[in-house]
Amino acid sequence: MPPFLLPRQPLRSLDEYFATDVGGLGLKRAVDLGPEATVTEILQSGLRGRGGGGFPTGRKWRGVLDQGGTHRYVVANGAEGEPGTFKDRALMRANPYQLVEGLIIAAFAVGAREAFLCLKASFEPELEAVTRAVTELQDAGVCRDCRITIVRGPDEYLYGEEKAMLEVIEGKPPLPRLLPPYEHGLFATAPQTGWQATENEPGHVGRHESNPTLVNNVETLSNVPHILARGADWFRSMGTEESPGTVVATVVGDVVAPDVGEVELGTPLRAVLDAVGSGVAPDRQVKAVFSGVANPVVPERLLDVPLSYEGLQSVGSGMGAAGFIVYDDTACMVEVARQFSRFLWIESCGQCPPCKLGSGEITERLGRVEAGVADVSDMREIGAWLDKVTDGNRCFLAV
Ligand SMILES: Cc1cc2nc3c(=O)[nH]c(=O)nc-3n(C[C@H](O)[C@H](O)[C@H](O)COP(=O)(O)O)c2cc1C
Ligand code: SF4
């Protein structure tokens, strides 16, 4: 299967993008179809969100389209904070045009008045690439009447969480708000649930608005022009029934050549580690693989699992953002557990006390296990905190 999302050579100009068999044709087809049929095409393609949750993209678009109210927004999530993941940055460097076209199509499909493209301020080459793409597409009149604002956000992990991202767009710190974006979107004035109250927009009259907002990952949106230009059946000819298409996987850690590569969904995980990361060193064996810090471990004996949402779920783990951190047989798994736990503790914002207190307590007690000074009460406390660390959680960091 030739890669279609991640070209071997980066595209340097809009002319180069238009010279491909997709550039501009996805939006043209969407306009020909109209918003309703565009959403149906995405629904039929079976595309699932590549930001970590794997939620069906067409269902998400339909949900926003069907919400009441007059103001809707679309957000492209390019925060890419998941440890071990570099695929959104690779995509933005290689082809920022397909992302911006996907964003314009999404805005058209859900009837959004404005779109936001959110990156970290520290992502300098990617900011340069998306700024070039937005400017060229605007100058060529391709953006139609959709205004696109590029947001330079903070480095915190939580910035990538969609409810925190909306706060950042509004100029606030990345603290996840209570309700999901389709219920309480950007600049929403009803209901007031954020950390700080939001003023009515200038000139706004009538009832308060909830402004349903669509948030999609950079890779998800990058798939969109290809699906529209070539059709849902083409997309479904790759991957599996429940996980169609390809995925851009990152393989890092104890491998010969850490890298990013596009693979067909359903490929065995072991083959992905070899194809993308060149496998572990010849005299070493894989001990454990993690898809980011949020999914349970995949041990060596399960590595033949297909890389798909249902495949990784069947072995008790998950796809996450398809960023795989590999540990070889020299790794201490207690140390790995403590490092992951410490990361979540530091990044937890503390709005939900069990998340902050529990991750801190678990981390410190794992440190005692690692140092060889723990006793049975440490193990009991770790188990007890694992049971309640997600109590009342506003976001999935704690999960
Ligand atoms: C703590 C945390 C961090 C997240 N970071 C990212 C991120 O960096 N990029 C991203 O696309 N999604 C991230 N997500 C998931 C988003 O909240 C959201 O589900 C996603 O952007 C939706 O896009 P999709 O449906 O296209 O996958 C994060 C979620 C959590 C709980
Ligand atoms: S679950 Fe944790 S990270 Fe998420 S909002 Fe609550 S305290 Fe913050």
Confidence of residue 183 (pLDDT cuts 50, 70, 90): confident
pLDDT score recorded for residue 9: 93
- The residue whose CA is least distant from atom 12 of ligand 1 is 51
Rounded Cα distance, 207 and 378, in Å: 54
Lowest pLDDT segment from 154-168, 195-209, 306-320, 340-354: 195-209
The pTM is what?
0.96
Q: What is the mean pLDDT of residues 231-245?
A: 98
Nearest to 119 by CA among 78, 82, 175, 161: 78
β strands within the chain, DSSP E? 73-78, 114-120, 147-153, 213-217, 246-253, 259-264, 286-291, 298-299, 323-328
Residues 339-351, mean pLDDT to the nearest whole number: 97
Residues 381, 361 contacting (CB under 8 angstroms): yes
Q: In this prediction, what percent of the chain has a pLDDT beyond 70? A: 95
pLDDT band at 67 (very low <50, low <70, confident <90, very high): confident
Q: Label residue 311 by pLDDT band (50, 70, 90).
A: very high
Which one-letter amino acid corresponds to residue 198?
Answer: T
Alpha-carbon gap, residue 384 to 379, rounded angstroms: 9
Measure the CA–CA gap between 77 and 117, rounded to whole angstroms: 7
pLDDT band at 222 (very low <50, low <70, confident <90, very high): very high
Mean pLDDT over each residue of the chain, to the nearest integer = 94
Q: Which atom of ligand 2 is nearest to the CA of 349?
A: 8
In the predicted model, what is the mean pLDDT of residues 67-86?
A: 92
Task: Give 163 Cα–ligand 1 centroid separation in angstroms.
Answer: 9
Q: At residue 210, does pLDDT exceed 80?
A: yes
Q: Whose C-alpha lies nearest to ligand 1, atom 30?
A: 161
Band (pLDDT 50/70/90 cuts) for residue 206 is very low
Instruction: Please name which of 188, 214, 217 lies closest in space to residue 201, comparing C-alpha atoms.
Output: 188
Which are the contacts of 313, defined by CB distance < 8 A and separation ≥ 6?
A: none
264-295: per-residue pLDDT in tens?
A: 999 999 999 999 999 999 999 999 999 999 89
C-alpha dihedral over 199, 202, 203, 205, to 10 degrees?
-10
Beta-strand pair 114-120/147-153: parallel
For the chain, what is the radius of gyration of the CA atoms?
21
Q: Which pLDDT band holds residue 208 (cuts at 50, 70, 90)?
A: low
Q: What is the pLDDT of residue 203?
A: 56
Atom of ligand 1 nearest to the CA of 218: 11
- If one residue of 5, 75, 215 were mutated to test the ligand 1 pocket, choosing by the most ligand atoms within 8 A of its CB, it would be 215
Report pLDDT digits (tens) over 357-391.
999 999 999 999 999 999 999 999 999 999 999 99
> Is residue 85 pLDDT above 60, yes or no?
yes
What pLDDT, on a 0 to 100 scale, did the predictor assign at position 113?
82
Position 189 scores a pLDDT of 78
Q: Encode pLDDT of 11-26 as tens digits.
A: 999 999 999 999 999 9
Give CA–CA dist 171/164, Å, rounded. Answer: 11
Q: Is the CB of 356 under 6 A from ligand 2?
A: yes
